[in-house]
């Protein structure tokens, strides 16, 4: 695994832990749907399915991770969520929500994790 892959994996590990600590149940990580793409984390909160995009950045190098969710990415996540629900018994009673977890790694100190609910 290259450095960027390791950084992303570390961010996803922190994101999954943050979601669990917030009471969500993680169902799957890195769920792939052929060439259509990947959902970083699928979880449930109550009776809602949560599709979670994780963005990890080193501090100061790029825009903040929370600014990295584009319209195209949201459309792709919605399409992937439809595929997931079709393969897993349909949409849950609480519907489907798209969340973003932004992980920022400072030069020194602990990572900052920000969970934004219902970004799309």
CA distance 104 to 64: 7
**Among the listed residues 72, 11, 85, 5, the one whose alpha carbon sits nearest the alpha carbon of residue 37:** 72
Could you tell me the residue range of the domain that residue 103 belongs to? 3-116
Query: CA dist 102 to 35, 58, 80, Å?
Result: 25, 11, 20
What total number of domains does the chain contain?
A: 1
**Tell me, what's the pLDDT at 55?**
92
Instruction: Give me the CATH number covering residue 81.
Output: 3.40.1350.10
Per-residue pLDDT, averaged over 96-115, amounts to 92
**Tell me, what's the pLDDT at 62?**
67
Asked whether 99 and 118 are in contact (CB, 8 A), the reply is yes
Query: CA dist 111 to 17, 20, 35, 58, 118, Å?
Result: 13, 17, 32, 9, 22
Q: How many CB atoms lie within 10 A of CB 3?
A: 7
Asked whether 103 and 93 are in contact (CB, 8 A), the reply is no
Q: What percentage of the chain reaches a pLDDT higher than 70? A: 96
Which residues share a beta bridge with 102?
Answer: 55, 114
Give the pLDDT band of residue 76 (cuts 50, 70, 90): very high
Per-residue pLDDT, averaged over 45-73, amounts to 86
What tens digit of pLDDT does each residue of 13-24 get? 999 999 999 999
Q: Mind giving me the DSSP string for 61-85?
A: TSS-GGG---HHHHHHHHHHHHHHH
Asked whether 55 and 68 are in contact (CB, 8 A), the reply is yes
Give the pLDDT band of residue 35 (cuts 50, 70, 90): confident
């Amino acid at each position: 695994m290259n450095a960027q892959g390791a950084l992303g994996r570390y961010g996803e590990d922190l994101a999954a832990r943050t979601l669990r600590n917030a009471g969500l149940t993680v169902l799957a990580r890195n769920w792939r749907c052929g060439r259509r793409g990947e959902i970083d984390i699928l979880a449930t909160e109550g009776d809602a399915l949560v599709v979670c995009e994780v963005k990890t950045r080193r501090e100061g190098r790029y825009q903040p991770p929370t600014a990295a969710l584009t319209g195209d990415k949201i459309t792709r996540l919605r399409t992937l969520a439809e595929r997931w629900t079709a393969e897993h018994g349909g949409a849950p009673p609480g519907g489907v929500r798209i969340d973003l977890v932004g992980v920022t790694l400072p030069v020194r100190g602990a990572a900052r994790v920000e969970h934004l609910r219902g970004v799309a």
